[in-house]
Amino acid sequence: MTMLIDLQFSSAHHEWPELRDAILQAEADGCDTVWVFDHFDGTLLGGDRAVMECFTLLGAIAAATTTVGIGPLVANVANRHTAVLAAAADTLHRISDGRLRIGLGAGAAPDKPWAREHRERGIPLNPDLAGRHAAVIRQIETLRALVPSPITIGVNSVALATIAGAHADGVNVRLGSPNAAKYVAAARAAAGNRPFEASGWAHTTDQAAHEKARDLHLDRLIISRLGD
Q: Model confidence over 4-52: pLDDT tens digits? A: 999 999 999 999 999 999 999 999 999 999 999 999 999 999 999 999 9
Residue 192 CB: number of other CB atoms within 10 A?
9
The answer to whether 71 touches 99, Cβ cutoff 8 Å, is no
Encode pLDDT of 189-224 as tens digits.
999 999 999 999 999 989 999 999 999 999 999 999
Q: What is the pLDDT of residue 18?
A: 96
Contact 71, 35 (CB under 8 A): yes
Q: Is residue 137 predicted with pLDDT exceeding 80?
A: yes
Which stretches within the chain are classed as H helix? 16-28, 54-64, 82-95, 116-121, 129-144, 158-167, 180-191, 207-215
188 against 2, higher pLDDT: 188
- Report yes or no: 196 and 224 within 8 Å, Cβ to Cβ: no
* The pLDDT value given to residue 227: 74
Secondary structure (3-state) at 202: strand
**Quick one: angle between helices 16-28 and 54-64, nearest 10?**
50
pTM summary value:
0.96
Instruction: Calculate the dihedral angle through the C-alpha atoms of 57, 59, 64, 70, rounding to the nearest 10 degrees.
Output: 80
Cβ neighbours of residue 91 closer than 8 Å, sequence gap 6 or more: 55, 59
Helices 158-167 and 129-144: angle between axes, nearest 10 degrees: 20
The pLDDT, as a whole number, for residue 226 is 82
Q: What is the fold of 4-225?
A: TIM Barrel (3.20.20)
- Give dist(CA 143, CA 82) in Å, integer: 9
pLDDT per position as a tens digit, 88-130 = 999 999 999 999 999 999 999 999 999 999 999 999 999 999 9
Helices (H), 81-125: 82-95, 116-121
pLDDT at residue 228 above 80?
no
Of the candidates 206, 156, 207, 204, the residue with the CA atom closest to the CA atom of residue 184: 156
CA distance 82 to 139: 6
Helix axis angle for 82-95 and 54-64, nearest 10°, is: 10
Determine the Cα–Cα distance for residues 88 and 153; give it in Å rounded to an integer: 17
Residue type, 193: N
Return the pLDDT at 193: 96
